[in-house]
Every structure is written in structure tokens, then in C-alpha cells.
Amino acid sequence: MIKTFFIRVYGCQMNFADAERLRRALVGSGWKETENPEEASALLAISCSIRQKAENRVLSFLSSYKHLKKKGTVLCLLGCTANLYGEEILKRFPFIDVVCGPNHISYIPQILENPITKKMVLTGENSSPFMELVESNEETSMMIPITKGCNNFCSYCVVPMARGRLQSKDPQKILKEIKSSVNRGVRYVVLLGQNVNEYGKDFKNKCDFGDLLSDVCKINGLLRVGFLTSHPEDTSKKILQIMAENQNVIRRLHIPLQSGSNKILRNMNRKYTVEKFLNVVEMARNLMPDISITSDILLGFPEETDSDFNETLKIVEKVRFSELYIFKYSPRPGTKAYLLKDNVSKEEKEHRHRTLLETQKKISNEIMQSFSGKTCEVFIERKSIKKQNHFIGRNIQDFPVILEGTEDIIGKIVRTKIFNHSDGFLCGSKLEEYQ
């Protein structure tokens, strides 16, 4: 009998990277992926709990397939929600067979090999939480988790509970993994962590994120290196200098501001001030004038007044981020802020969200427009699904670009003239040379 799995992923890039490794491990041991949950012998949901809505979505997804139990389908809740609630999940959702947090996902292929005779719960810390990579010849770009967990305990955030404490992956293992992927055709890697700048803080030796980034950039044949997410408090001059010195590092810095009010930042336990944030932005722009800066804003945190919000608006207008991810505060059990009254009304959160979105839309549009007539070096990732003979890539500032071309440009850098932008893409036409 063919063993088939269906996988649904919620949440951030960390979950997508976990899903990709799990997918490859399963396929490597004889499983087949299906796009139809009804056909699957194992239904895997990789969950996120960052906001209540994300959590509800994954649990209602699994609930809607509980009828498959009759056919013997194994239902698995993996990822952050699984780790947060453990056994409790089984009481509320008795149709779930396996509950497995992000630090134990590497056990899933082995677990699924045998019939599930009793419920399984795997949560908490693990001394080797990183899943090995099963090699593939199909990819030209790849996400590489370099840390797990987080030690920052921002007062609103569930990640330190959902993913545990910070654990950095051995630098030699990371370099080996990237080198062998490059040998198989990978040309673009994104180093991933909840706060990549903290990489190595749990090591006895002195290897830090700057050292790792510098070594990764020197790998022969690697055309592009990106990383996510940077914390404003830990974005050092050293890291920015290494970015500036290495032409294959993406000129994009994703540094979540969260709020433009020092009072709110303090209550969020973010450990930096607006002034420090602006200083990082200035340092980055001095070293790399063409850098694109993107950010997250969390609005409606307890006690956020109109005047606090206006300070956020002011900073957004001042910095001119290329892109902004705006979230409405959602109280999370187990966090420090959960004890505070969620006292910004739903309507007010909605209003602030709309205001910020409109301001940002205008800025993003102007920045996209400024590329018109310019030439960019675009790394081509894949074929466009919607537009025939068109390909999707990213320029050095990580903006998505669409252009006409032929299959042979995938995995290469194409000099492209930008003539327009539409639906979040820069539209370009290929100039002759490419490498």
C-alpha cells in the first residue's frame, strides 16, 4: 500500500522550513505527498499560536477532517500549538493521534512507520532539535534554520514557550549543509531564526552571527544570502559591516519596530528605545545606501493611547519602510501581557490598523515606483503560475520581480530593466547578460 501524506502549514518561515525538511524526509522513506486530504494516510498540520486566530484556524482545520479517522487516517498536530498545550490538546480534540512540538519533528517519519496504537505527545526541549536535511536536486533556493527558540520574552509573545529556549546550530554543520546544497544546485539561502542576531549566544566559543554570515557568504557558487529576523537591540555595527562588505548578501534588513512609543516598547519588554532603533536604521543606510528596511508593527497593546499610536505613525513616515507587517494585539495565555487588561477596543484596533495600512501603502507604492527605469540584478526563483512564459525572481533588495524569459534562467541572476510595478511585483524585461 502506498503511504500518502497531506501537509498544511500555518505561521512563519520557521514552520515552512520545518515542513520542507519533513516533506523531504517522508518522501525519502517512500511516502507520497497528496494535495487531497481525503486520500492521505497521514494528515499533518504544522501549527502557529502567535495570535488566537492562527490557533483557531489550525484546530478547526483538523476538526474538519476528523471523519477520516474512520478510514484509519492518522491525524497529527505538529509545531507551536502542539508544544504549548501538549496533553491538553488530546482532551479537547480526542480525534488527534500525535501531538508533536517543533523540537521533535524529526521523529515524525519514524513514528509514522508503525501503526499508531496509542496517542503520542512529544513536547518540550530536545538536545538536538534541528532536523537533518535530505538532499534534493530540485531546489535553487532554500531556508536554513540556524537557531531554535528565543530567550527574549517580549511580554506579548508566545514563542519562548512555543519553541523553547534559544539553541544555535553548530556552525560547521550549517556550512556543510549549505556547501552540499550548493553542489546540488542551490544558489540562494535564507538563514532563519526568531532573532538571528542572537546566534551563538549559547555557545562557549565566540562564534556569533556576524562570523557565521561572513563564512556563509564566502561559499563558492552561492549567489545570494538572506536572513530573518533581526532584533533592533542586537543588530550590531559588525553585522551591518559584514552585510556591506559582501556583495552576495541581500540588501534587506527586517527589523521589527513593534511600536513608536517608548512607553509601549518598555511595557513590551523590547529592550530598545525608538532612538536606538533609528540609530540602527541610520547606521544601515550609511553603510548601504540602497538597503531596503522592512518591519513589523504590533498595535493595540494594552494602554496604547492615540498619542502612542501617533508616535508609531510618525516613525513609519520618517523611516519609510519598504514593507510593513501590521498586527493587532492578541492576548496570549502564558505571556506576561496576558495579565494586563486588553483595553484597546476592537474598533480602535481596527481604525489604527486601517490608518497605518493606508500610510504604508502610499510609501510602499512610492518606493516601488522609484525602481522604474532602473536596472536590477534579479535572482530567478521559479516560473510564474499565472502568466505564461514569465518568471519570478528577487532583486538584491528582495523585491519580487516578474519578467518574461525561458526555463534556463531559473537559478541564475538576470540583469533586468524595471519598467513598472503591479500587484506587489516589479515588472521588468530581461537584458541580455546573465550569470
Whole-number minimum distance, CB 155 to ligand SF4, in Å? 9
Q: State which of residues 3, 4, 8, 12 lies at the interface with ligand F3S (CB under 6 A).
A: 12
210 binds, among ligand SF4, ligand SAH, ligand F3S, none (CB under 5 to 8 A by kind): none
Q: Is residue 258 at the binding interface for ligand SAH, with CB under 6 A as the rule?
A: yes
160 binds, among ligand F3S, ligand SAH, ligand SF4, none (CB under 5 to 8 A by kind): ligand SF4
Q: Is residue 80 at the binding interface for ligand F3S, with CB under 6 A as the rule?
A: yes
153 binds, among ligand SF4, ligand F3S, ligand SAH, none (CB under 5 to 8 A by kind): ligand SF4
Q: State which of residues 125, 135, 211, 296 lies at the interface with ligand SAH (CB under 6 A).
A: 296
Q: Which three cell numbers stand for residue 117?
A: 496504537
- The full 3-state SS of the chain, as one line of letters, equals CCCEEEEEECCCHHHHHHHHHHHHHHHHCCCEECCCHHHCCEEEEEECCCCHHHHHHHHHHHHCCHHHHHHCCEEEEEEHHHHHHCHHHHHHCCCCCEEECHHHHHHHHHHHHCCCCCCEEECCCCCCCCCCCCCCCCCCEEEEECEECCCCCCCCCCHHHHCCCCEECCHHHHHHHHHHHHHCCCCEEEEECCCHHHCCCCCCCCCCHHHHHHHHHCCCCCCEEEEECCCHHHCCHHHHHHHHHCCCECCEEECCCECCCHHHHHHCCCCCCHHHHHHHHHHHHHHCCCCEEEEEEEECCCCCCHHHHHHHHHHHHHHCCCEEEEEECCCCCCCHHHHCCCCCCHHHHHHHHHHHHHHHHHHHHHHHHCCCCCEEEEEEEEECCCCCCEEEEECCCCCEEEEECCHHHCCCEEEEEEEEEECCEEEEEEEEEEC
Q: Which stretch binds ligand SAH (CB under 6 A): 26-34, 37-45, 151-159, 216-224?
A: 151-159
Q: Is residue 342 at the binding interface for ligand SAH, with CB under 6 A as the rule?
A: no
Q: Is residue 194 at the binding interface for ligand SAH, with CB under 6 A as the rule?
A: yes
Whole-number minimum distance, CB 391 to ligand SF4, in Å? 34
For ligand SAH, the closer of residues 49 and 126 by Cβ is 49
Does 229 sit behind a cis peptide bond, omega within 30 degrees of 0 on the bond before it? Answer: yes
Interface residue list for ligand SF4 (CB under 6 A): 150, 152-154, 157, 159-160, 194-195, 231
Whole-number minimum distance, CB 310 to ligand SAH, in Å? 19
Q: Is residue 287 at the binding interface for ligand F3S, with CB under 6 A as the rule?
A: no
Whole-number minimum distance, CB 269 to ligand F3S, in Å? 17
Q: Is residue 260 at the binding interface for ligand SAH, with CB under 6 A as the rule?
A: no
Give residue 54's Cα distance to chain centre. 15
Whole-number minimum distance, CB 321 to ligand F3S, in Å? 19
Q: Is residue 327 at the binding interface for ligand SAH, with CB under 6 A as the rule?
A: yes
For ligand SF4, the closer of residues 7 and 337 by Cβ is 337
Q: Is residue 259 at the binding interface for ligand SAH, with CB under 6 A as the rule?
A: no
Site string (47-66) toward ligand F3S, x via CB under 6 A: -xxx----------------
Instruction: Give the CA radius of gyration of the chain.
Output: 22
Whole-number minimum distance, CB 233 to ligand SF4, in Å? 9
Q: d(Cα 140, Cα 151) in Å, to the nearest integer?
A: 32
Q: Is residue 161 at the binding interface for ligand SAH, with CB under 6 A as the rule?
A: no
Whole-number minimum distance, CB 279 to ligand SAH, in Å? 17
Site for ligand SAH, rule CB under 6 A: 50-51, 156-157, 159, 194-195, 229, 231, 256, 258, 296, 298, 327, 329-330, 332
Site for ligand F3S, rule CB under 6 A: 11-12, 14-15, 48-50, 80, 158-159, 162-163
